[in-house]
Amino acid sequence: MKLKIEVTNDVAVSIESIRKQGVFDPQIVSMVLDLAPHSNIEKEIGVLRSKYDIENIGELASALVYGYDIIKTPEEKIKDYMERNYSLSGYEVGAYTEIELNGEAYAVAKFILNTLNVKVKGINL
């Protein structure tokens, strides 16, 4: 059984911000279900309320108790893949240098992203 829950980056940032205010995990769950305003953390509670309600509050509780992993956006996944697979280290590979081969593959990937109008910081932005 997997105990860690996957959450979006905005949820993770909100949880950490609320915790830094001295709010304990059971209180976070209570505040999400309670519709009363919570002054200095209302924005963060609002983020959590937009993702969790009475139907799935157990997921938030599990994330608070067992920890969580942050889900990467599609753009982050593409950037990680490009950095992992198309480094420009520059050693010889047959008639071409690795820079030439990876540079070409990188250019193709940039072309595809640009054609699809997908912008990825560090790749084509």
- In angstroms, what CA-CA distances link 39 with 13, 16, 45, 46, 89? 18, 17, 10, 11, 52
56 lies in the same domain as 92 = no
Residue 1 has pLDDT above 70, yes or no: no
Considering only residues 113 and 14, tell me which one the structure prediction assigns the higher pLDDT. Answer: 14
Tally the domains of the chain.
Answer: 2
Could you tell me the residue range of the domain that residue 102 belongs to? 74-115
The mean predicted confidence, pLDDT, of the chain is 82
Mean pLDDT of 95-119: 67
Q: Name the amino acid, one letter, at 47.
A: V
85 and 51 both lie in a single domain: no
pLDDT over 80 at 16, yes or no: yes
Q: What does the CA dihedral 66, 62, 44, 26 come to, rounded to 10 degrees?
A: -90
Whether residues 60 and 30 fall in one domain:
yes
* Residue 75 CB burial class (10 angstroms; 0-12, 13-18, ≥19): middle
One-letter amino acid at 13 equals V
The listed range with the strongest mean pLDDT (76-80, 93-97, 102-106) is 76-80
Summarised one tens digit per residue, pLDDT across range 41-89 is 999 999 999 999 999 999 999 999 999 999 988 778 877 777 776 654 5
- pTM of the full predicted structure? 0.66
Answer yes or no: do 65 and 87 share one domain.
Answer: no
Quote the CA–CA distance of 94 and 70 in Å, as a whole number. Answer: 41
Query: Whole-angstrom Cα distance, residue 25 to residue 27?
Result: 5
**Residue 112: which H helix or E strand, with range?**
helix 98-115
Residues 60 and 22 occupy one common structural domain: yes
Task: Extract the runs of DSSP E, i.e. beta strands, from the chain.
Answer: 5-7, 68-70, 92-93, 96-97
Share of the chain above pLDDT 70, in %: 82
